[in-house]
């Protein structure tokens, strides 16, 4: 707080709104949603701009395949992913979802979808064991888990011990019994 009282001595006055908020010069909006207040604004700017623009997401895997999404595409896909979370997954604002995915495009997409819906995104590393997953599900009371084929056996082995877990969502080309498929739903 002491630093913020004397901020004019340390910083120029031409900061953006976000920096002004950090300096306690501007009110924090009562309702702020990164997905709609920032991503969708960049999408609108992108639509109005002529010529090429930088991608919002540019992902390249180890084999050289790439995914490149504009801000408009990321916004559109994140709204579809938000519909998956609030529809088939039956998640509401404040519910928790435990996401154990490698850093594939769907990880980023689900992260933004959670921001849109107010669902709490709990990231986890793909190195977690069944015991680790069970502990985190019990501690967080997550209603949904999202992962890939590699961790399905671990999740299935502990799911019965986690009473809050209602939905299991897999990001995969394959189908699994008792699992919703994210790519199919998207």
Please report, for the chain, the start and end positions of each structural domain, with discontinuous segments joined by +. 29-181
pLDDT at 183 over 90: yes
Mean pLDDT (the chain, rounded):
86
Q: Does the model's pTM come out above 0.85?
A: no
pLDDT at 2 over 50: no
Arithmetic mean of pLDDT, 97-101:
98
More confident residue, 154 or 47: 154
Q: Per residue in 136-174, is it b (16+ CB within 10 Å) or e — as a string?
A: bbeebebbbbbbbeebbebbeebbeebeebebbbbbbee
| Domain 29-181 architecture | 3-Layer(aba) Sandwich (3.40)
């Amino acid at each position: 707080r002491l630093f913020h009282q004397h901020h004019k001595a340390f910083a120029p006055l031409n900061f953006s709104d976000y920096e002004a908020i950090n300096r306690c010069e501007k009110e924090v909006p009562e309702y702020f949603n990164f997905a709609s207040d920032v991503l969708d604004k960049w999408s609108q700017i992108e639509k109005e701009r002529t010529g090429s623009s930088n991608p919002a997401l540019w992902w390249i895997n180890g084999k050289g395949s790439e995914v490149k999404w504009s801000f408009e595409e990321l916004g559109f896909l994140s709204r579809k992913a938000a519909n998956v979370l609030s529809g088939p997954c039956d998640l509401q604002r404040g519910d928790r979802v435990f996401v154990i995915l490698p850093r594939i495009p769907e990880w980023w997409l689900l992260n933004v979808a959670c921001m849109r819906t107010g669902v709490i995104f709990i990231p986890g590393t793909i190195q977690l064991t069944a015991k680790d997953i069970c502990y985190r599900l019990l501690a967080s009371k997550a209603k949904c888990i999202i992962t890939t084929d590699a961790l399905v056996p671990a999740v299935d082995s502990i799911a019965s011990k986690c009473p809050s877990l209602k939905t299991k969502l897999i990001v995969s080309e394959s189908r699994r019994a008792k699992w919703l498929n994210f790519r199919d739903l998207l």
